[in-house]
Amino acid sequence: MVNSNVTIYTLPCLSDNYAYVVHNSASGTAAVVDVPESGPLVDKISELNVHVTDIFLTHHHWDHIDGLPDLQAALTGPLSQAPARVIGAKADAHRLPTLDQAVSPGDRLTLCGIEGDIYDVSGHTLGHLALHLPSAKAVFTADSLMAMGCGRLFEGSAAQMWHSLQQLRALPQDTWVYSGHEYTASNMAFTQSLDEDNPAIAARAAQITEDRAAGRPTVPSLLALEMQTNPFLRADDPALQAAVGMAGATAEQVFTEIRARKDKF
């Protein structure tokens, strides 16, 4: 059942990051996903006049966590709230801020009255988590699955990232993907460089160009659309394999090749 009481706000941060506020109007509470900087989050929380119960951190990179101390200070200071519970990966606790709850893949937790499921989406980093909120038709993927792309492999392997993406593409197709950066235009250009005859890619490219020209975020994106147009989700698609000259190769081989091409693009 879809939870009509949930609204998710996409907040641009830094130069190209996103943070999220998940607002549950039924409980009058909210959760935050990632804290690149505190200002946009504090402004939105103040505007909503909502109590933040939880802060979920997807991974340890500075541009997803550095705003946490200032956000915590604002919540317990000017906003006069009780401290929010900080949640992150148990496997990554040694390099995350102090956690109030350490979670592992397969765990189910409740944030601001909404149930969520935890996935290991290692590849970009080891211990990277995704948070799926089934009743909100939302998954927060940060730097694993991105709009028309996936994160660079800083710590994990191509095999790990391909496994992570297979988990995410198995979610319901009407799930909205809330990723960590506004990289969609560059991801689109790379996808077009693969020279695949795919009408869905051409149509999406036109929409991305229009959205960015108008200053609109291209995130979130619908998983069904990612399945049609994101090459990193389609490494086992014969049409893409043929387009990149790898007909008959394994999906992992194709994924490894296109990730290497993107690194040099």
Binding site, annotated residues for Zn(2+): 59, 61, 63-64, 124, 143, 181
Per the annotation, binding residues are 59, 61, 63-64, 124, 143, 181
Q: Which residue has the tokens 């392997």?
A: 157
DSSP codes, 105-166: TT-EEEETTEEEEEEE-TTSSTT-EEEEEGGGTEEEEETSEETTEE---SSS-HHHHHHHHH
The tokens of 181 are what?
């950066």
Angle between helices 158-169 and 251-264 (to 10 degrees): 110
Residue 152 to residues 50, 74, 187, 258, 262: CA-CA distances in angstroms?
35, 33, 12, 11, 9
What residues have CB less than 8 Å from 259, skipping those under 6 apart? 150, 153, 158, 161, 232
